[in-house]
Amino acid sequence: MKDHDAIKLFVGQIPRNLEESDLKPLFEEFGKIYELTVLKDRFTGMHKGCAFLTYCARDSALKAQSALHEQKTLPGMNRPIQVKPADSEGRGDRKLFVGMLGKQQSEDDVRRLFEPFGQIEECTILRGPDGASKGCAFVKYGSHAEAQAAINSLHGSQTMPGASSSLVVKFADTDKERTLRRMHQMAGQLGIFNPMTIQFGAYGAYTQIMQQQAALMAAAQGTCLNPMAAIAAAQMQQMAAFNVSGLVAAPMTPSSGTSTPPGISTAPVPSIATPIGVNGFSPLPPQTNGQPASETIYTNGIHPYPAQSPTVADPLQQAYAGMQHYAGPAYPAAYAPISQAFHQQAPIIPQQQREGPEGCNLFIYHLPQEFGDAELMQMFLPFGNVISAKVFVDRATNQSKCFGFVSFDNPTSAQAAIQAMNGFQIGMKRLKVQLKRPKDANRPY
DNA sequence: TGCCATT
């Protein structure tokens, strides 16, 4: 029999050709084994390269862990064996997120800092692809109490060299929290990214949040197979449901005969097709490259897209196909273009700096009357870091002059914004988005 | 509709 306080260990990095009988001798050296199971795929029966191991005695588990974990590499593996309490042993929250570390600090430095509060099972510094520290780490203790002690003593206790504020020590997100947060981020970005959904009224904003919440909750509870589908659905519902300050002027018309989702009105959708395409959701044929947009818009009088997109009979279908693209069954694959397309968490605070570098400043004309700086910024955030967004206002009437500036911190974002937003239809108007004239172009001599 | 960081 096993001790009542026995620990079930997870063993990772096992060569797939080793079965229970091969592993047994390796682990028996630390005590009598109660149970050893190699994890196999439920359907294919394939060896998963890891196992659960329970010793009769708790002490054996601890010994095995300290002797083997990360200490030895089994033949054919390129990472050392993992021996640690299985996740199912859940001994409360004991993993910490540590922020505001110095970029120079190594795993060892962090260990030294956290050692006094308990046994550290895991210490990882988060690094970028180039190996540079991101200034944060995960530290896992053997118990919740140890982790809590570390928080109590270390959080805010000191400021590391090069860090912008004092040390952050808190419980790390659980997996669930992490996925939820990610989805929130995405939902937020989707909301921002789709100018159709920009809400001006308090009611609209409220409803938008509620719908996204509902979708997220459904996704989180597993009632919806694909969280992105849920978000997409919320977005679509929302587009259909709200008349946004004149942005969506058309009445709701039931769809007819196409793959159009029920209840989506057809009129407003052409205008969302462009930003969706540019962000990788649906490939839209390139626009009038190098040609002044005004020509496209005003010589033929109407819509540039149908004329140049013969393959897209119904822009709504196009837009909806884009939605389905990422709402499709291949979640990870579908996830990728989204995370790539969106820039990480653009700050929504700036507003101090005016112009960005040459090639980063856009002049935007034909803004809706009701657009203020915030709406302008929201509309361009999906394309990069917006340094500033300014709508010009008539100083006598305080009315928008319907044009403004948006500055990015890099020319690529600016170009992406031009590609996506120039000619973008809002209500009866089409945005004109182009590089701001350089200063000296104005000078007479 | 009307054109480049304003008072």
Token pair of A422 as six digits = 């120039």
Distance CA A192, CA A198 (A): 6
pLDDT at A165: 83
Find the residue closest to B3 using CA and C1' atoms.
A365
Average pLDDT, integer, range A410-431: 93
Say whether the CB atom of A351 is under 7 angstroms from strand B: no
Distance CA A237, CA A362 (A): 32
Question: How do beta strands A95-99 and A47-55 pair?
Answer: unpaired
pLDDT at A91: 62
Say whether the CB atom of A321 is under 7 angstroms from strand B: no
Contacts of A362 (CB under 8 A, 6+ apart): A380, A405, A406, A407, A408, A414, A417, A418, A433, A434, A435, A436
Q: Which nucleotide is nearest to A293 (CA to C1')?
A: B3
Output DSSP code: residue A290. Answer: T
Q: Is the pLDDT of residue A180 over 50?
A: yes
pLDDT at A445: 52
Distance A398 CA to B7 C1' (A): 11
Find the residue closest to B7 using CA and C1' atoms.
A395
In the block, tokens 């101090």 appear at: A352
Question: Residue type at A66?
Answer: S
Strand B nucleotides in reach of protein CB atoms, 7 A cut-off: 1-7
pLDDT at A354: 75
**Percentages of chain A per state (helix, strand, coil), in multiples of 5:** 40, 20, 45
Say whether the CB atom of A367 is under 7 angstroms from strand B: no
Distance CA A433, CA A363 (A): 6
Three-state SS sequence of A414-444:
HHHHHHHHCCCEECCEECEEEECCCHHHCCC
Say whether the CB atom of A365 is under 7 angstroms from strand B: yes
Distance A366 CA to B2 C1' (A): 9
Distance A392 CA to B6 C1' (A): 8
Strand partners, A38: A51
Q: Is the pLDDT of residue A341 over 50?
A: no
Question: Residue type at A341?
Answer: A
Q: Interior CA angle at A171 toward A170 and A173, to 5°?
A: 120
If phi > 0 it is left, if psi is from -120 to 50 it is alpha, else beta; for residue A34 that is alpha
Say whether the CB atom of A363 is under 7 angstroms from strand B: yes
Distance A159 CA to B1 C1' (A): 55
Cβ-count burial of A257 within 10 angstroms (0-12 exposed, 13-18 middle, 19+ buried)? exposed
The H or E element that residue A8 is part of is strand A8-12
How many angstroms separate the Cα of A121 from the Cα of each of A87, A141, A149, A399?
13, 5, 15, 61
Average pLDDT, integer, range A260-286: 33
If phi > 0 it is left, if psi is from -120 to 50 it is alpha, else beta; for residue A70 that is left
Q: DSSP states of A155-177 as a string? A: TTS---TT-SS--EEEEPPPHHH
Q: b vs e for A306-319, b when ≥16 Cβ sit within 10 Å of the residue's Cβ?
A: eeebeebebbbbbb
How many angstroms separate the Cα of A418 from the Cα of each of A225, A255, A339, A433?
36, 32, 21, 5
Distance CA A16, CA A74 (A): 11
Say whether the CB atom of A402 is under 7 angstroms from strand B: yes
> What global pTM score does this model have?
0.34
The model's confidence at residue A43, banded by pLDDT at 50, 70 and 90, is confident
Output DSSP code: residue A285. Answer: P
Say whether the CB atom of A409 is under 7 angstroms from strand B: no
Contact yes or no for A409/A387 (Cβ under 8 A): yes
Q: Is the pLDDT of residue A76 over 50?
A: yes
**Residue among A386, A324, A326 nearest A353 (CA):** A386
Residue-wise pLDDT tens digits, A296-340: 222 222 232 322 232 323 222 322 222 222 222 222 232 233 333
Average pLDDT, integer, range A68-94: 86
Q: A33-38: long-range contacts at Cβ-Cβ below 8 A with a sequence spacing of 24 or more?
A: A34/A1, A34/A2, A34/A6, A35/A2, A38/A14
Contact yes or no for A427/A366 (Cβ under 8 A): no
The model's confidence at residue A185, banded by pLDDT at 50, 70 and 90, is low
> Hey, which bits of A61-178 come out as E strands?
82-85, 95-99, 120-127, 133-141, 168-171
**Residue among A406, A413, A412 nearest A354 (CA):** A406
